[in-house]
Amino acid sequence: MGGKYRVTGNTYPRMRRPRHRRKLVLSAGAAVVALGLAGWGTLQLIDVFTGGDGTANAADRPKACPSPTASTPVKALPKPAAIKVNIYNATPRSGLAKAAADELKKRGFAIGKVDNAPAAYDKKVPGTGMLLGGPTAMNGSFPVLGTQLPGATTKTDARSTADVDLIIGTKFKAFSTPAAAATALTALTKPSPAPSAC
């Protein structure tokens, strides 16, 4: 070439191939697809070896439910007339043990001793009351007597007799109403349904 396009000097323009952006984009897309397929395949293998997700096949499996007729048996609780209650007043209010004994007698309980609380408990029962008796009272007399005085604490001692002590505490105001006590007693004697596994 001549004229103004003539190449002069020792340096020549470097000629290179034009960049192919299309090939670069296609190779990047292929790499992304390959990685996605590899990840999906890995998840499938994990599902095969670990048993898979239980929720995926839950609709295909029939539910095995226990029969609803089964229920938890309830221990037979004693009747109020079979419970002998000794009533002790651990509060500074006088006449409280006698009034409590009269009320429990109206509700069918057998009344034993009625007196002030012994020194070990006198003015030392901060709640509504305490039920004190032998170990057998925990699943017998205590629940029945506890329906009359909600919130009463329970404690066992070494006695071998069936009688129980009701020690009236400083927060005692009144027994629960006969209707509320009867409802609570019915709830104790009603068998609870077996929990469903479905």
Largest CA distance in the chain: 137
pLDDT for the residue numbered 189: 79
Where residue 36 falls among pLDDT bands split at 50, 70, 90? confident
pLDDT for the residue numbered 79: 92
Contact 118, 89 (CB under 8 A): no
Q: What is the mean pLDDT of residues 154-161?
A: 93
Name the residue with higher pLDDT: 38 or 167.
Answer: 167
Q: What is the DSSP string of 4-39?
A: GG---SS--PPP-PPP-HHHHHHHHHHHHHHHHHHH
CA distance 116 to 113: 10
Give the Å distances, CA to CA, from 88 to 22, 80, 93, 116.
Answer: 98, 18, 12, 5
Q: What is the mean pLDDT of residues 167-196?
A: 84
67: which 2 tokens?
């029969």
CA distance 121 to 53: 60
CA distance 89 to 118: 9
Q: pLDDT over 90 for what percent of the chain?
A: 52
pLDDT digits (tens, 9 = 90+) for 116-154: 999 999 999 999 999 999 999 998 899 999 999 999 999
Q: Is the confidence at residue 16, as pLDDT, over 50?
A: yes
Vertex 70: Cα angle to 63 and 190 (nearest 5): 135
Q: pLDDT over 70 for what percent of the chain?
A: 71
Mean pLDDT of the chain: 80
| Chain-centroid distance, C-alpha 14 | 81
**Measuring CA to CA, which residue among 113, 111, 109 is closest to residue 78?**
109
pLDDT for the residue numbered 157: 93
pLDDT digits (tens, 9 = 90+) for 37-69: 777 777 776 776 676 555 545 555 555 555 544
Q: What is the mean pLDDT of residues 107-114?
A: 96
Task: Please state, as a whole number, how many other Cβ atoms lie within 10 Å of the Cβ of residue 134.
Answer: 17
CA distance 124 to 137: 22
